[in-house]
């Protein structure tokens, strides 16, 4: 799959944000992670996503991480920058800065804050309309359970049809495949990028439903990319075979290890110096980490030998 120009397709994994043991940004490790992921055959990258721990970095650090990533990648692959914020004006400003620095796309969750502060559809529409008016790059709406916001296929399709730069959708909710089918049916050509998320745990079903991209964890893109390639070429048996092989690791990341999985793999492979999240994020249970590494070693991913 090629992603050198729109429509962006293929695998765009999430880059982990690396910290030191004391919780400072580790920029040297961050650059090595970026380089490894490019070598692993990504079609593009996503930074400052939830799996990048975007919720634990300051606004100043966001700018440092965005500039570092875009300057280091230097156009070799497109970079999606997450710019989510509840306040429309802040999201717009974050997105403008990302675009000025060279982001290919911004990814944005609908405005939310806990279970109490919900935003009606009319205001959500205005939120994305104002964001689109401020940009000349595409917007990906992230439809994820973390927001607790219900986004119907009808509403998403309406935004695709009526808001100029809303063109990509990362669907991570329960029943993602059916939602993708309905979104594609209702949105037609306005849905430029129906994408899979949630670490690829529903990847085959989502590809069958029409997904053209996948935003996964960053630890083993060399394992995920051949699934998308085989499916794109019409070889569904091969796509199934490769997915079946990697599914234990995909499942362990999604259901057991979570966002620290990519960091643990990169630390084990000598790519990054520290795998910890920022306090108060708890460390991965040692037994969960051991099983993660044992599963990975059976598959021989690049992450465990890239720095050899």
Q: Which of 31, 170, 179, 263 is catalytic?
A: 170
Cα end-to-end distance, the chain, whole Å:
28
Buried b (16+ CB within 10 A) or exposed e, 278-305: eeeeeebeeebbeebeebbeeeebbbbe
Q: Buried (b) or exposed (e) across 159-170, using 16+ Cβ within 10 A?
A: bbeebebbbbbb
In degrees and rounded to multiples of 5, residue 266 shows phi and psi of: -70, -35
CA distances from 193 to 83, 92, 107, 139, 232 (A): 18, 21, 12, 10, 14
Q: Which of 216, 193, 160, 139 is nearest to 152 (CA)?
A: 160
Residue 31 appears among annotated catalytic residues: no
Q: Rounded CA gap, 16 and 218, in Å?
A: 7
Can you say whether residue 188 is alpha, beta or left, with left for phi > 0 and alpha for psi between -120 and 50 degrees?
A: left
Phi, psi of 35 (to 5 degrees): -65, -45
Residues labelled as active-site residues = 170
């Amino acid at each position: 799959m090629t992603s050198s120009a729109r429509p962006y397709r293929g695998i765009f994994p999430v880059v982990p944000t690396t910290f030191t043991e004391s919780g400072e940004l580790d920029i040297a490790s961050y650059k090595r992670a970026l380089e490894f992921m490019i070598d692993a055959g990504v079609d593009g990258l996503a930074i400052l996503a939830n799996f990048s721990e975007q919720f634990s970095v300051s606004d100043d650090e966001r700018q440092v991480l965005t500039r570092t990533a875009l300057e280091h990648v230097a156009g070799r692959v497109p970079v999606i920058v997450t710019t989510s914020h509840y306040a429309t004006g802040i999201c717009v400003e974050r997105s403008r800065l990302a675009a000025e620095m060279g982001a290919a796309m911004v990814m944005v969750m609908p405005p939310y804050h806990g279970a109490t502060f919900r935003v009606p559809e009319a205001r959500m529409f205005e939120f994305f309309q104002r964001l689109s008016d401020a940009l000349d790059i595409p917007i990906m709406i992230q439809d994820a359970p973390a927001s607790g916001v219900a986004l119907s296929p009808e509403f998403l399709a309406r935004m695709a049809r009526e808001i100029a730069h809303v063109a990509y959708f990362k669907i991570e909710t329960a029943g993602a495949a059916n939602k993708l089918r309905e979104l594609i049916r209702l949105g037609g050509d306005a849905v430029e990028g129906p994408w899979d998320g949630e670490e690829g745990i529903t990847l085959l079903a989502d590809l069958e439903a029409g997904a053209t991209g996948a935003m996964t964890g960053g630890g083993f893109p060399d394992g995920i990319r051949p699934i998308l390639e085989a499916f794109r070429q019409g070889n569904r048996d091969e796509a199934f075979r490769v997915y079946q092989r990697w599914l234990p690791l995909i499942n362990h990341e999604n259901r057991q290890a979570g966002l620290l999985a990519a960091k643990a793999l990169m630390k084990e492979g000598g790519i990054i110096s520290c795998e910890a999240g920022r306090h108060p994020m708890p460390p991965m249970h040692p037994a969960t980490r051991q099983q993660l590494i044992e599963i990975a070693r059976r598959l021989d991913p690049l992450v465990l030998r890239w720095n050899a």
